[in-house]
Amino acid sequence: MPRVIKVAATQLEITRDPDKNLAKAEEIVREAAAAGANVILLQELFENWYFCQEQKGEYFDWAKPLEESKPVQRLSKLAKELGVVLPVSFFERVNNAHFNSLAMIDADGTVLGVYRKSHIPDGPGYQEKFYFSPGDTGFKVWDTKFGRLGAAICWDQWFPEAARSMALMGAEVLFYPTAIGSEPEDPSYTSYPHWARTMLGHAAANLVPVVASNRIGTETWGKSSITFYGGSFISGQHGDVLAQVGAKELKDGNLHPKPDSVEGFVVQAFDLDKCRTNRLGWGVFRDRRPELY
């Protein structure tokens, strides 16, 4: 019997009210599940606005241990109810350390494990090094009900080593929750095409589908403001864009040059056994020369 996975990339505008954000997350997960998705990706740190635009010690209070995380606890119950897999981003506290983390929740509501973001950015508007320690888990993949899945977080998506590491561990689909938008010091610049093409390269180089979810909306903290550009998408294993939130149409597997900034989701099915056969046929893992790298 074919192993068919139906993945969803979601896209939301986040508010200053964590309870409202959790309710919005639950609603869009329910909608995606009703549309047939069995693995549904939410965006990075969706519980609140992206607070890393400024450095304030009181925001550390928003971090919680895994067992006390509202996003993880609420969505674990929802995953069990709907029978879906949910990679869930959350702000994690572990003793005196704080991490930008992801819990992989299986379709029975079990938390299979936690990945902690490995690459931590530090620049205007994206001051994550103030809040997050570098992840100490290494890259992770999990055997879920619907396949062996890998997940990394935002800035990780710019590093081919992360994608290749997960692929070498047997990941059949890669998931990247994200929070990225304009540059506060140069609002005229957009990294959107570069951002997306980097992940499309990971799909093509590793011959695995990629799912990326980003937020939308403008968030202002003090003197810093970011407009998040969305563009959430699902790519095939050859780096072709198969579905994208806000794209009126897609041509020849290419990104939409300027997708609408809208809330929503897209769903795409993959036959994982066919993907595996195609991946093996290309021979890119057979022909690797790690001793030269």
Mean pLDDT across 91-99: 97
Closest CA to 211 of 243, 181, 252: 243
Closest CA to 87 of 29, 135, 131: 29
**What are the angstrom distances between the C-alpha of 229 and each of 22, 41, 113, 184, 246?**
21, 17, 30, 13, 11
The percent of residues above 90 in pLDDT, for the chain, comes to 98
Mean pLDDT across 276-281: 98
d(CA 52, CA 47): 13
Closest CA to 91 of 112, 113, 109, 117: 117
- Residue type at 2? P
Specify whether the CB–CB gap between 210 and 174 falls below 8 A.
yes
The percent of residues above 70 in pLDDT, for the chain, comes to 100
Q: Is the pLDDT of residue 1 over 80?
A: no
Q: Is the pLDDT of residue 129 over 80?
A: yes
pLDDT at 2: 82
pLDDT at 187: 87
pLDDT at 70: 98
pLDDT in tens, 36-58: 999 999 999 999 999 999 999 99
Q: Which residues contact 181 (CB under 8 A, 6 or more apart)?
A: 214, 215, 226, 227, 228, 229
Q: Is the pLDDT of residue 284 over 80?
A: yes
Tell me the average pLDDT of the chain: 97
d(CA 263, CA 13): 7
- Supply the Cα-derived Rg of the chain in whole angstroms: 18
pLDDT in tens, 194-204: 999 999 999 99
Specify whether the CB–CB gap between 53 and 288 falls below 8 A.
no
pTM for this model (two decimals): 0.98
pLDDT in tens, 231-276: 999 999 999 999 999 999 999 999 999 999 999 999 999 999 999 9
Q: Which residues are catalytic?
A: 44, 117, 154
Residue owning tokens 């195609």:
278
d(CA 261, CA 13): 9
Mean pLDDT across 148-153: 98
Question: Residue 211: pLDDT band by 50, 70, 90 thresholds?
Answer: very high
Strands (E), 178-251: 210-213, 216-221, 224-229, 233-235, 241-244
Mean pLDDT across 108-132: 98
pLDDT in tens, 157-190: 999 999 999 999 999 999 999 999 999 999 899 9
